[in-house]
Structure 1
Amino acid sequence: MRATRDPMPASRTALRRNRGLKARQTGRAAEALAALWLMVRGYRILAFRSRTHGVEIDLLARRGGVLAVVEVKARGSLAEAMEAVTPVQQARLRRAAEAVCGRPGFEGLSVRLDLMALAPGRWPRHVPNAWPDSWPAS
């Protein structure tokens, strides 16, 4: 006789839901801080949490002839934030950037993949062209 698996207890479900809500709130706050940081440095924010081809771009920013597809990561330390983007995520960002390049109004802009790393008690760290091997796509 095969044992059936009990559904997740309500208390564990509530814990997971609360953890997910807190993560979303932290992420949105990190994106807002990253946007402010970039604006102070002369970037114009074109989009927050833009979805293209099933991929969410945290921030789409422009300064001069550069269009930055910005991934925002908030972690316990800057080092953790900098290492948080996996090669699979980098590939998704590259595909999203390729899709954005095809939109009207973005012709002739240099596109790059940037990282904004945030950690408690530290200044945000902007890493332009964070994954040079990921862009441009071959």
Structure 2
Amino acid sequence: MPKPEPGQAAGTRQLRGALARRSGRRAEVWAAIWLMLKGYRILGFRLRTRLGEIDLLAQKGGVLAVVEVKSRLTLADALAAVAPEQRDRLRRAGAAVAGGRPRLKAMAVRLDLIALAPGRLPQHRPDAWSGA
């Protein structure tokens, strides 16, 4: 197998990264639309906090949903794609956002998952890791 030209590997990596970011943004848009169809109000999109990025921040009634969006072949793969450390970080980020906004302080913060798979409707899993 021929060796890549200098700089070619970096260019391939950059292209893969750009394609992954575009795919991720598209998945987040689909997830937001799905949540709005279910009656959620989207409060934040790709919300950066000091604790990490929240894909979607949504509200329905007295619940503030910190929503992680994963595009995988199965729901099980999507659930497994979020490590315990990331879940803890997302929970803390959601609590920090809620605590910093008077209108959100009294809400219950919940960690949800929207799983997207090719050729299938999005799957919303409220409180996706409640036992974990």
> TM over 0.5: same fold?
yes
For 1:119, the aligned partner's letter is A
- Per-residue displacement from partner, 1:21-52 (whole Å, max 9, x unpaired)? 01100100000000000000000000100011
Question: Identity across aligned pairs (percent)?
Answer: 57
In structure 2, the partner of 1:41 is 38
- TM-score w.r.t. structure 1 length? 0.86
In structure 1, the partner of 2:103 is 105
For 1:36, the aligned partner's letter is I
Number of aligned residues: 127
Choose the corresponding residue for 1:124, options 122, 125, 130: 122
Larger radius of gyration: 1
For 1:12, the aligned partner's letter is A
The answer on 1:92 being equivalent to 2:112 is no
Gaps of 5+ in 2: none
After TM superposition, where is structure 1 displaced by more than 4 Å over at least 4 residues in a row?
none
Q: Cα RMSD between the aligned structures?
A: 1.4
In structure 2, the partner of 1:5 is none
**What is the CA–CA distance in structure 1 between the aligned matches of 2:99 and 2:106, rounded to whole Å?**
10
Gaps of 5+ in 1: 1-7
Q: Which segment drifts farther, 89-98 or 15-24?
A: 89-98
Structure 1 residue 75: deviation in Å? 1.6
**What is the CA–CA distance in structure 1 between the aligned matches of 2:82 and 2:6, rounded to whole Å?**
32
